[in-house]
Chains A and B, each alone.
Chain A
Amino acid sequence: MRAYRLFAAAIVGVGVATMSTGVPAQDAPTGIVGLRQATMKTLGAHMGALKAILTDQTEMVDQVPMHARAIGDVAGHIPVLFPEGSTDPESDALPAIWEDKADFDSHAEKLSELVAALAETAEGGDVQASLAAFGQMGKEGCGGCHETYRKKDS
């Protein structure tokens, strides 16, 4: 119900000013933050390919495990991409990551498990079941971590 609370807050805010996070354009971050953002984007790209296979090019379902493995590979490296103190004004990583790094890391592990389940399902060739496994992977694997450890507004 947070969002409802937010408009309520916004109502008052509106009277003062319509706040907007107009962050001036800045160079993309470099260093470890730049790397992990670039790495996360590759995950997004694999998700796009998986979606294209499972909703459109379904006869290519045998390619699902390839993308799933790639995501799983990256997932294993997420923990080291977030070393203590690797903040940057442009980073969406929340400080909560370093308050309980073990929990954060467990989300990466969870992603590895879900993505392995997707690969296994897809090997059976069932597109509908693969789509369901894909949705679960996205919601719980990617979304589960973002919900807790990434800034909402990007």
Chain B
Amino acid sequence: MTLTSIIHPVKAALSVLVAIFAAGTGALAQDTQDAVRETPSDPLAAGRLVAAIGGCANCHTAKEGAPLAGGDPIHSPFGTFYPPNITPDPATGIGGWSDEEFITAMREGISPGGDPYYPAFPYTSYTHMNDEDLLELKVWLDSVEPVEQASPAHVLRMPVWPHLEAPFDVRFALWGWRWLFFEPARFEPDPAKSKEWNRGAYLVEGPGHCAQCHTPRNIFGALDHDRAYSGSATGPDGEKIPDITQGPDGIGDWSQQDLTFFFKIGMMPDGDFVGSEMAKVVNEGTAKLSDADRAAIAAYLMDLPVD
């Protein structure tokens, strides 16, 4: 991607319009299986684990709602997004999707009807997931109780006319955004690194979608990979997402054991417990992984480049 492509006026305008959040082409490409797998042999149990680290329920299950039958709205300056029903209900969920359709949605962000998804759905990370994990994930999703519940339409807002809020669809404009910021990718292990590191890289870059929160974004809402994992600017109420690199504001003073334990129960080295969104990531996600997987995530984080 070049600067000229960014400033191409039409494309840039379209992109701004739809720069919801989430994006970015990862540095990793191509698939691999053997080096990076450590999941139970029962596909259903394995799929449940993939869903856990993928955090699907964090978005697709509403606070008081049935599992995966549609999540609480995500409010953003670009509008309000309703994570849809992904139970196997054929009418209102994703029942009847073929494996291929599911993989295309997860890895390319394209619906069975051929429309692009808003990057509020973190497919820009899931694109790094391998076939086995996705197929097992689907086996588990297919086993979830089907719930008939239509998903509300997203309410998009044009930042240029913030007072105008309407359920209009600008999916067509996503093609421009994708063209600038997204390219389907696959995880490719680095043969120079250990098996543990590669497993950690896969979990963090792919299903764990850690970058979606911990990597800052450019003005188009795409991840700024030059500053990967260095934390995100403060939100309106002064909350910020911490830097998890080894840089001065990061977690250089955490040992691998500190990190592994953190991903198990959420305790930080000073004895304090993690809160907010990260508590969900730990309790519903990393806490369910094996000790080896947690150690792998730690090993990868401790080796993140510092800019």
Q: Bound pair: A and B? A: yes
Q: Which residues from chain A sit less than 8 Å from chain B, CB to CB?
A: 1-15, 18-21, 41, 43-48, 51, 55, 131, 134-135, 138-139, 142-143, 146-147, 150-153
B148-190 contacts to A (CB < 8 Å): 159
Provide the bound-state CA to CA distance between A70 and B213, in Å: 37
Q: Which residues from chain B sit less than 8 Å from chain A, CB to CB?
A: 19-22, 58-59, 71-72, 74-78, 120, 159, 212-213, 216-219, 221, 232-241, 257, 261, 264-267, 269-277, 279, 283
In the complex, the answer to whether A143 meets B279 with C-beta atoms within 8 Å is yes
B19 to chain A, nearest CB (A): 6
Provide the bound-state CA to CA distance between A153 and B240, in Å: 6
In the complex, the answer to whether B234 meets A19 with C-beta atoms within 8 Å is yes
Q: Which residue of A lies closest to B122 (CB)?
A: A4
Of B22, B71, B221, B275, which is in contact with the most chain A CB atoms at under 10 Å from its CB? B275
Of B20, B219, B276, which is in contact with the most chain A CB atoms at under 10 Å from its CB? B276
In the complex, the answer to whether A7 meets B272 with C-beta atoms within 8 Å is no
In the complex, the answer to whether A44 meets B270 with C-beta atoms within 8 Å is yes
B42 to chain A, nearest CB (A): 23
Q: What secondary structure prevails in chain B residues at the interface with A? A: loop
In the complex, the answer to whether B233 meets A152 with C-beta atoms within 8 Å is no
Provide the bound-state CA to CA distance between A45 and B269, in Å: 9
Q: Which residue of A lies closest to B237 (CB)?
A: A152
Contact of B271 among A15, A44, A55 (CB under 8 A): A44
In the complex, the answer to whether B19 meets A11 with C-beta atoms within 8 Å is yes
Provide the bound-state CA to CA distance between A150 and B272, in Å: 12
In the complex, the answer to whether B213 meets A3 with C-beta atoms within 8 Å is yes
Contact of A134 among B216, B265, B269 (CB under 8 A): B265
Q: Which residues of B contact A131 (CB under 8 A)?
A: 265
In the complex, the answer to whether B265 meets A152 with C-beta atoms within 8 Å is no
Contact of B275 among A8, A134, A152 (CB under 8 A): A152
In the complex, the answer to whether B75 meets A6 with C-beta atoms within 8 Å is no
Contact of B283 among A8, A48, A139, A151 (CB under 8 A): A139
Further pairs besides A51-B271, A146-B272: 15, Cβ < 8 Å: A5-B235, A6-B232, A7-B213, A7-B241, A8-B21, A8-B74, A21-B234, A48-B270, A51-B267, A134-B265, A135-B264, A139-B266, A139-B283, A150-B275, A153-B234
In the complex, the answer to whether B235 meets A138 with C-beta atoms within 8 Å is no
Q: Which residue of B lies closest to A18 (CB)?
A: B233
In the complex, the answer to whether B217 meets A14 with C-beta atoms within 8 Å is yes
Q: Which residue of A lies closest to B75 (CB)?
A: A5
In the complex, the answer to whether A12 meets B275 with C-beta atoms within 8 Å is no
Provide the bound-state CA to CA distance between A19 and B237, in Å: 11
Q: Which residues of B contact A151 (CB under 8 A)?
A: 238
